[in-house]
Amino acid sequence: MTSNDINFFKYCFTRGWVHESLLDVGSSTFGGAQLSISMVAKDLGLKQVTGVDLAKNTGVDVVFDFSVKDETFEGGWEAGSFNTVVVFNVLEHTFDPYQVLKNAAKCLKPGGTLLVVVPVVWPIHSFPKDHCRLLPDWFEEFARREGLSLVKEGFVWLSEFEMSPVDGVIKEGERQYPNFLNQGKLKSPLRYWSSRITHRILNTFGRSHSFNPYGFGCRF
């Protein structure tokens, strides 16, 4: 979990989108991680927090596989039990992200909130496996198919330029993810111009101008 993930969760909390009770899907503090969304939620004062993951570990209250098919999920999990469900940095690790998110949405009470964070440009991080990268269009289609409302104010890029609307930069009709070519001059002018000049003098291509590690968060 990155600082951007935490900042997005706190952003949602301050906007009144996070309520008791909360379910954290993928809550295990694996690989030596010191923090989980469950822990952040408790630090913010939430008392009714449940963590679920594939295996017992620190931060896991319930062991359950959210990738199972509808009938298996409905037979093993009580639907409509939570006001808030968070799925942070989980979907890229499953072969069927649609089914996982669909099952997560089933856990919501009427009027509840589903918060999701995924990486988009990010190194391979195989725990247990790293299957895919999901883009904004995928989440819009998911919302359409499942009859969910994707809240514009919660549909944001998470990058070193902090949070910015997914539709914040449009070029030739296409969304532009935040990078130094479209954000550098404004956010980090010294780094932007020194890097551009260096690459021009040495006749190299500055990949960091175009491809910075980032993900995005969305609120249903």
Q: What pLDDT, on a 0 to 100 scale, did the predictor assign at position 128?
A: 79
Coil, helix or strand at residue 143: helix
For 160-212, the three-class secondary structure string (H helix, E strand, C coil) is CCEEEECCCCEECCEECCCCCCCCHHHHCHHHHHHHHHHHHHHCCCCHHHHCC
Cα dist from 55 to 24, 153, 209, whole Å: 14, 34, 39
Q: Which amino acid is residue 66, in one-letter code?
A: F
Q: Which superfamily does 3-160+213-219 belong to?
A: Vaccinia Virus protein VP39 (3.40.50.150)
Q: What pLDDT, on a 0 to 100 scale, did the predictor assign at position 212?
A: 58
**d(Cα 104, Cα 86) in Å, to the nearest integer?**
8
Q: What pLDDT, on a 0 to 100 scale, did the predictor assign at position 210?
A: 52
Do the Cβ atoms of 84 and 21 come closer than 8 Å? yes
Q: What pLDDT, on a 0 to 100 scale, did the predictor assign at position 207?
A: 52
* Sign of CA pseudo-dihedral 14, 15, 20, 24: negative
Instruction: Encode the chain (220 residues) as per-residue pLDDT tens digits.
Output: 788 899 999 999 999 999 999 999 999 876 555 688 999 999 999 999 999 999 888 889 999 999 999 999 999 998 899 999 999 999 999 999 999 999 999 999 999 999 999 998 878 877 778 899 999 999 999 999 999 999 999 999 998 777 888 988 888 888 887 777 777 677 777 877 777 787 778 776 555 555 555 677 888 8
Residue that has been written with the tokens 């010294």 in this structure = 190
Do the Cβ atoms of 170 and 136 come closer than 8 Å? no
- What would you report as the CA-atom Rg of the chain, rounded to the nearest whole angstrom? 19
Q: What pLDDT, on a 0 to 100 scale, did the predictor assign at position 102?
A: 97
Q: What pLDDT, on a 0 to 100 scale, did the predictor assign at position 150?
A: 94
Do the Cβ atoms of 114 and 220 come closer than 8 Å? yes
Cα dist from 141 to 22, 93, 119, whole Å: 25, 20, 18
Do the Cβ atoms of 60 and 80 come closer than 8 Å? no
Q: What pLDDT, on a 0 to 100 scale, did the predictor assign at position 209?
A: 52
Residues of the chain with CATH 3.40.50.150: 3-160+213-219
Model confidence, pTM: 0.86
